[in-house]
Amino acid sequence: MKVNYVLLFYTILNVLANNDGPFYRMELETTNVLIGIHIKAKTMWNMINFVVGQDNISMKQLTFMFALPEQDYDPDSTTQIESEIKLQRWLREASGLEAGQIAADVRCQTSVNDLGEARRLMLKSDLRDLLIHILKNPSTHNMHFEHTCRLIGLFLSMKITAPSAYTTSADVSLPPDYTCVIRHESDILQSFKLFPRFIRFVNNENHRTVGGSILAFIQHY
């Protein structure tokens, strides 16, 4: 019976993924409520780092999960729905709350587009603060540059209105180049190189041409 319920659940979600119906509104709003709970509890940094660190989740999936929840993952609604449910489950389990406690704050009166904008608005500030803390205190975070590169890629997609040139990949080239290259499909959006104490912009074509520190950019983006 449980298996049949799960199959029915995914079938309903798949049908409603492209609609602004109450069921899909409920899913997005529930996740937003959980994000708000973690932000208030000062645990959202941990959740962001946890999800970004999952090797089985691509950069593109991260972008659609956190920054574009109101849109389908390309034409693939199933991947988008599975990502939303997965993020929601991680957030709920980490919160220690039961589903019924969270459901009390879900109204289903907000459009999916507005819910997407609300998620970007909530997360952009926390993600900015996390990146600033990492950039100013790298030794306290003890994370690989690949992880920071993905965080930067996600941050670049956190425009309040749905971005058209969102991040689909954020990869670090092999040493000695060791440059974070952030792309939208085949187009390079930004490139950054890790130096002993700073992460700096570099030219997209010539990584030896170095620009300013990323810190000021993150603070004012």
Residue-level pLDDT at 164? 86
- Residue identified by tokens 């659940």 is 9
- What b-and-e string marks burial along 61-81, b requiring 16 or more CB atoms within 10 Å of the CB? bbbbbbbbbbbebeeebebbb
Residue-level pLDDT at 7? 45
Q: Which domain holds residue 140?
A: 2-220
Q: Are strands 210-213 and 199-202 parallel, antiparallel or unpaired?
A: antiparallel
Residue-level pLDDT at 20? 61
Dist. CA 184–CA 153, nearest whole Å:
10
Q: Are 119 and 163 in contact (CB under 8 A)?
A: no
Residue-level pLDDT at 4? 44
Dist. CA 210–CA 206, nearest whole Å:
9
Name the token pair of 18: 């492209």
Q: What is the pTM of this model?
A: 0.86
Dist. CA 116–CA 71, nearest whole Å:
8
Q: Are 60 and 169 in contact (CB under 8 A)?
A: yes
Dist. CA 67–CA 168, nearest whole Å:
12
Dist. CA 24–CA 135, nearest whole Å:
37
Spans of the chain, pLDDT less than 50 = 1-18
Give how far Cα 17 sits from Cα of 25, 73, 80, Å.
Answer: 10, 10, 8
Residue-level pLDDT at 13? 47
197: exposed, middle or buried (Cβ count in 10 Å: 0-12, 13-18, 19+): exposed
Amino acid at 150: R
Residue-level pLDDT at 163? 86
DSSP for residue 162:
P
Our count of domains for the chain comes to 1
Dist. CA 44–CA 151, nearest whole Å:
13
Asked if residue 176 has a cis previous peptide bond (ω within 30° of 0), the answer is yes
Q: SS3 for 168? A: coil
